[in-house]
């Protein structure tokens, strides 16, 4: 196995074009679990830790650009939490301090699990994913980026470079149901924002991202609409019926919280 460690984004894209079989590794909190258990043996790993362009976040004329290497700990910091509060709440529920210090937004999108906690809060903010290759840069909506359970729209030679959001400033929140407060994969999760338009997106309740939208005047029927939009399954963490019920209850509470 080869370890490739580019020192700039240009170098990273050149290497990815040369070695499309190289698996990116950022925080490693998903990749290393696979490696440690022999489930993952890519011919090469592309270590993105030394690419400065992927770090941190910045403001760009009205939008916020989250580097693919933004950690959950960074997303929880007060300056960014003020701009994207639901994302900060979601980040706080991820794993443990150790996981939040290493795990990244880019890695969460790379994994594209329906349980990925960064997805619902980014979806209600209509986030776009910036994908880059030596061929150029494109932006696609997060909803289109995730094409199925653990599948995404990246081409073999592409990397996720950033997530771009135009913060709505709307009251918003994130909730997650799990067996304890730390270290839980969501049984079901929900992000709600309540601006002029009500928006909701859930985790662990559909194979692909869904954003439910309604005018603010329809707040009373909104929890039912959220529950109906889900297509949950039965699995070891919970039943479909429970997930749907939990979504309805959570949506009601989330709206109360946001509209209070």
Ligand X SMILES: Cc1cc2nc3c(=O)[nH]c(=O)nc-3n(C[C@H](O)[C@H](O)[C@H](O)COP(=O)(O)OP(=O)(O)OC[C@H]3O[C@@H](n4cnc5c(N)ncnc54)[C@H](O)[C@@H]3O)c2cc1C
Task: Report if residue 133 touches ligand X, rule: CB under 6 A.
Answer: no
Q: Which residues of 237-256 are buried (b: 16+ CB within 10 A; e: fewer)?
A: bbeeeebbebbbebbbebbe
* Closer residue to another protein, CB minimum distance, 58 or 96: 96
Task: Report if residue 23 touches another protein, rule: CB under 8 A.
Answer: no
Q: Among 85, 114, 116, 120, indicate the residue that binds ligand X (CB under 6 A).
A: 116
Q: Which string of x and - marks every residue 89-118 that binds another protein (by CB under 8 A)?
A: ------xxxxx-xx----------------
* Closer residue to another protein, CB minimum distance, 32 or 214: 32
173-232 residues in contact with ligand X (CB under 6 A) are 183, 185
Task: Report if residue 64 touches ligand X, rule: CB under 6 A.
Answer: no
Q: Which does 110 bind (CB under 5 to 8 A by kind): another protein, ligand X, none?
A: ligand X
* Closer residue to ligand X, CB minimum distance, 111 or 168: 111
70-99 residues in contact with ligand X (CB under 6 A) are 94-95, 99
Q: Which string of x and - marks every residue 148-187 that binds another protein (by CB under 8 A)?
A: ---------------------------------xxx----
Q: Which residues of 37-51 are buried (b: 16+ CB within 10 A; e: fewer)?
A: eeeeebebbbbbeeb
Rounded to the nearest whole angstrom, what is the least distance from the CB of residue 79 to another protein in the complex?
Answer: 17
* Residues near ligand X, by CB under 6 A: 23-31, 33, 48, 68, 94-95, 99, 102-104, 106-108, 110-111, 115-117, 154, 159-160, 183, 185
**Footprint of another protein on this chain (CB under 8 A)?**
1-3, 5, 25, 27-29, 31-33, 35-37, 41, 45, 47, 49, 95-99, 101-102, 181-183
């Amino acid at each position: 196995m080869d370890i490739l460690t580019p020192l700039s984004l240009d170098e990273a894209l050149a290497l990815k074009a040369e070695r499309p079989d190289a698996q990116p590794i950022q925080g490693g909190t998903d990749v290393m679990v696979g490696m440690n258990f022999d489930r993952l043996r890519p011919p090469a790993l592309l270590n993105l830790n030394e690419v400065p362009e992927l770090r941190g976040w910045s403001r760009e004329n009205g939008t916020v650009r989250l580097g693919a290497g933004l950690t959950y700990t960074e997303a929880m910091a007060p300056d960014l939490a003020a701009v994207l509060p639901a994302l900060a709440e979601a980040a706080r529920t991820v794993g443990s301090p150790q996981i939040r210090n290493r795990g990244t937004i880019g890695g969460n999108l790379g994994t594209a699990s329906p349980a990925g906690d960064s997805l619902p809060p980014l979806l209600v903010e209509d986030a776009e994913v910036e994908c880059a290759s030596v061929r150029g840069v494109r932006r696609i909506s997060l909803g289109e980026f995730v094409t199925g359970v653990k599948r995404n729209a990246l081409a073999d030679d592409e990397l996720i470079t950033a997530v771009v959001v135009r913060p709505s400033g709307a009251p918003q929140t994130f909730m997650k149901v799990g067996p304890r407060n730390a270290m839980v994969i969501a049984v079901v999760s929900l992000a709600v924002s309540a601006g002029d338009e009500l928006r909701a997106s859930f985790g662990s309740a559909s194979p692909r991202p869904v954003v439910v939208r309604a005018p603010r005047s329809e707040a009373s029927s909104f929890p039912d609409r959220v529950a109906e939009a889900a297509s949950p399954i039965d699995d070891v963490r919970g039943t479909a019926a429970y997930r749907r019920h939990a979504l309805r209850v959570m949506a009601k509470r989330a709206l109360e919280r946001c509209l209070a």
